[in-house]
Amino acid sequence: MRNNLDKIFDEKLNAYSSHVSENIWSNIHMNLPQHSANRNKRWIFLLLLFIGVSIAGSLIYYYKQFQNNSSADESIVQAVEQNFAGSLLKPTANSVETNIGLGHKETVQTDQSNHNLTGNPVSGPKSGRGVGLVLGESDLLEDRTISFTENIDDESSTNEQGAETLASTIQNKRFADKRTLLMTPADLGRRSTFVYSNQTVRRSKSKTLGDCFEEASELYFISFNVSMDYPFRSLFSANIGEIQNYIVNRENTESGLVSFSAGITGGYIHPRGWKAETGIQYTQLNEKFLFVKENVIKIQTQITIDTMYNGDGTYTIHRDTTSIEVLGFEEMKTSNHYKMLDIPLIFGYNFYFKNIGIEANAGFIFNVASSSSGRIFNPDLIPSYYGKKTNGSFLPYRMRFGTSFYGSLSLKTTIKGHTQFYFEPNARYYLRSFSSSSNPVNQKYFVLGLSSGIRYYF
């Protein structure tokens, strides 16, 4: 039974409105599903679009780098064989024995694709009779490797002049085109002293209570994230005077490429906004090695077959073999990769502004395993492979790249229920040099990245 005191208290307090602090609304809104259904769909679309672009971009880069790596590795001898296999010699129209002269393996390149070598003819010792085509470019081998000289009445009378004219025309055109492509090492890599490295990821927190405030005071989450990164590298040494030339050559031949990282993490968020997070993450830093070696000589061999008809209706086949030395340059292009398996340990703090959640993060990323592969100058300034292709002969980098410091600022929004989507500009600084004792310079990395991901709260 209610008495007078109850009634008066009830009347007084029933409609009484207490003063409410502004930050209460911020905290509430942070934990609510936002936006209309259409807006949710838009976020999902943007999320899928971003993830798709990220994956496609990574695959394209990786594929291109893989291609470059493979092409630089081909045997020159093999390239010559392939060229002739597809040439006009193959049909053996006149059943002529085919002789192919090969030059020194390191200097000769009769390449079909023609992107490694070019140059000018410097000499052309002829042998035999007939027409020798002086070809400056291997494309010509495919088109006009063999010139047929027909001589019906007079064995010495051939259409050699016409053939030479044709060859000259093609040759001039080819070399005219080629000159525009000639490059020197100096043209190629005038880049910054710093190269790049890769990045990381972080995720963020925010509590999404929903119905679960009974348990009340803490939230757990799991995050998936992908990050596009760009590495910035620095080379330095205590004995800078002695290896200045080495550092300059490294900087002129190496440059950063878009890199990436991806991971899965879990964490805990205190209702006051503090967050702790850890998980596992894969990181790959990419760089490009591009070096042009000048004054490379290749030797090309052309075979000319003459069919001369005799007066009695028979004919004679003559073969003319010509070797040509071509001076040019060789382009060495390789993708360098630094791959890491990491364990991040990140701490953060959450707050809310309007309908956007903001999370500041900082922490360390511990490297568990690392590997590197690619090609750089060795201390003798010779381009050398390292990693899988070296059998351990050249090991310029450590087996583990060590701990790095991580910082980020995450912007997030609720897309549905307990699920959030976030963008996270981030920076990662590697505390240790990547270099091993066999590397004359210290090599450190600073990585800027933009990660995105999804976080689900339990």
Partner 1 sequence: MSEQEIILGCLQNDYNCQKALFDKYSGVLLTICRRYFNDSSLAEDALQDGFIRIFNKIDQFKFEGSFEGWMKRITVNICLRKLQNENRKFDWSEIHHVKENAVNPVVDSDLNEEEILRLISKLPNGYRTVFNMYALDGFSHKEIAAKLGITDSTSRSQLVKARNMLQKMILDLYEE
Residues forming contacts to partner 1 in the complex (CB under 8 A) are 1-6, 8-10, 12-21, 24-25, 27-29, 31-37, 209-211, 213-217, 271, 355
The residue (of 9 and 236) whose beta carbon lies closer to partner 1 is: 9
The residue (of 338 and 421) whose beta carbon lies closer to partner 1 is: 421
Torsion of CA 22, 28, 29, 35, to 10 degrees: -140
Torsion of CA 152, 153, 157, 159, to 10 degrees: -30
CB of 386 to partner 1, least distance (A): 55
Tell me the torsion sign for CA atoms 176, 181, 183, 187.
positive
Identify which of 200, 271, 263, 208 has the alpha carbon closest to the alpha carbon of residue 230.
200
Encode 20-32: b = buried (16+ Cβ within 10 Å), e = exposed: eeeeeeebebbbe
Checking phi first, is residue 350 left (phi over 0); if not, alpha (psi -120 to 50) or beta?
beta
CB of 396 to partner 1, least distance (A): 55
The residue (of 8 and 248) whose beta carbon lies closer to partner 1 is: 8
CB of 354 to partner 1, least distance (A): 8
CB 125, CB 70: distance < 8 Å: no
The residue (of 30 and 163) whose beta carbon lies closer to partner 1 is: 30
CB of 212 to partner 1, least distance (A): 10
Q: How far is CA 46 from CA 41, 276, 297, 303, 457, in A?
A: 9, 28, 54, 61, 21
The single residue listed with the structure tokens 């010139």 is: 147
CB of 21 to partner 1, least distance (A): 7
CB 228, CB 447: distance < 8 Å: no
Q: How far is CA 25 from CA 270, 272, 439, in A?
A: 18, 14, 57
CB of 210 to partner 1, least distance (A): 6
What φ, ψ does residue 207 adopt, rounded to 5°? -90, 145
The residue (of 352 and 385) whose beta carbon lies closer to partner 1 is: 352
The residue (of 55 and 356) whose beta carbon lies closer to partner 1 is: 356
CB of 8 to partner 1, least distance (A): 5
